[in-house]
Amino acid sequence: MTQPSLSLVDTDPAELAVDAIVIGLHSQPDEGGALLPAAGAESIAAAFDGRLTSTLALLGASGAPGEVTKLATLGTISAPLVVAVGLGDEPTGSAPSPETLRRGTGAAVRALAGSNTVALALPLPDDEDAPGVLRAILEGALLGSYRFAGYKTKPQPNRREPVAALQVHVPDANDASAAAEVTRAEAVARAVRLTRDWVNTPPNVLRPPEFADAVVAAAAGTGLEVEVLDFDELKAGGYGGIVAVGQGSEAPPRLVKLTYTPEGVESPKRVALVGKGITFDTGGISIKPAAGMWEMKSDMAGAAAVGATMLAVAALKPRVAVSAYLAMAENMPSGTAYRPGDVITMFNGKRVEVYNTDAEGRMVLADAIARACADGTDYVFETSTLTGGQVIALGKRIAGLMGSDEAVELVRAAGDRVGEPAWPMPLPDEVRKGMESDIADISQTNSNLDRAGHMLQGGVFLREFVAEGVEWAHIDIAGPSYHTGEPSGYWSKGGTGVPIRTLLSVIDQLG
């Protein structure tokens, strides 16, 4: 679906000629649950002669975060519809948290599918926090309007098209910093929406060669350098992990490298992004149970996020040199598939004893990480749908985070800023001890097939392929990368685009 147009306006919200206008609504627990219009809605509340909140209450509004209530204006203001989105309790500061606004905006815009033009009159502080709050509103609006096009052959009679145009009310529509936030939000949202499209695409349509082609096509004209290694080149280059995982499929593996070099920056910091691109994961010879296996089409969410992040990097032009490595394979059982018991020689020369072919992600990532370090980098940030252990430990919203202290803190802080939380986890010595192999340098999983600390085993394994002196972080997004429930906030059902906004925030910090 086409991304909505986005513009800034400073006209009185009550006079905007739009199909609907979104305002914020607070609850007031200390006032017996009375409702309070959020900042930005003053002129609209005045037009209702003090009856706005009481009417919304009659319609069931409570001000709970993300709650959406629609009210026909009957000519009271220019817009025919007011949409009140709950922002929680009245804040003690000048605005609710950015994430509350991001989620609330997303919910409101999604609820307004079928409208052509929607205006947002939501609270903006008048201090140094204003750009971050505006960014949250803009991102929430653009991401909340996302819908995957799908493959239905018949028109859906009750299907309402997403909002086509968004207007965001600000104090000064000509303010340069506000305009810069619009430019950034558009670039970021395009990246997130593209990632969602790739993740939501059926696995028979997006196999490794097609995925590589799609990334190359998306990078055309962006200024990014592109390198693609096919199966024969991977084999000749010593990428044993990628070859082993990919050799079981008739759709051969790929390694895609995208490179951004900033202009006019002497000796920039170097960042490598690495993503797992398993376009479908059957588990291989260690085959998965049938129940829920269809969701393994999303096992390439890490590579999708990393590839799309590079498109945003090309548009935003940070003062950091950024390269991305997308390791793509399809993990299938066949007569040519790799087996438990195999010993694989990896790109950096280390030998790995395989115990479970369903732990394939770490095999392709290890090669990609080793290649990134061989090319030269100061930081490696890798993201992958690596382990079910992440979901068990941290749920569907919080990523698992492992690595060196500096890189882990960069990711953790960035995730907090953008609403993509990640929780730092340890890499205990006893977990590494359990991965000793009798015949190779390391076993791919615990040598006794003990799943205790399964998420940590993945991080411990990947650490073996990070060069000395390189700061690194592993972001396990098995849960947050794919949303199986009903749409919520700015998340639709399916791919989420996590952790694109985190990675971009980290790059900003390093610039």
The yes-or-no answer on residue 135 being catalytic is: no
Crossing angle between the packed helical segments 301-316 and 208-219, to the nearest 10 degrees? 10
DSSP conformation letters of 12-35: -GGG--SSEEEEEEEEEGGGTTEE
Written as one string, the DSSP assignment of 371-405 is HHHHH--SEEEEEE---HHHHHHHTTT-EEEEE-H
DSSP run (H or E) holding 81: strand 81-89
Question: Does the annotation mark 396 as catalytic?
Answer: no
Catalytic, out of 288, 350, 396, 451? 288
Please tell me the distance from the alpha carbon of residue 59 to that of residue 38, in angstroms, as a whole number.
Answer: 18
What does each C-alpha distance from 439 to 127, 189, 370, 432 come to in angstroms? 62, 48, 22, 16
Catalytic residue among 362, 412, 417, 501: 362
CB 33 within 8 A of CB 62: yes
Q: Which residues does 371 contact at the CB level (< 8 Å), separation at least 6?
A: 239, 255, 257, 325, 347
Give a three-class secondary structure readout of 269-303. Answer: CEEEEEEEEEEEECCCCCCCCCCCHHHHHHCCHHH
The SS3 call for residue 326 is strand
Is residue 242 a contact partner of residue 234, using CB atoms and an 8 Å limit? yes
Could you tell me where the DSSP H helices lie in 96-239?
98-111, 130-144, 176-200, 208-219, 231-237
CA-CA distance, 67 to 285, in Å (whole number)? Answer: 47
Q: In 3D, which of 378, 385, 430 has the Cα closest to residue 404? A: 378
Tokens linked to 68? 């959406």
Enter the tokens of residue 261: 């070099």
Please give the distance of CA 56 from its chain centroid, rounded to a whole number.
34
Instruction: Just list the catalytic residues.
Output: 288, 362
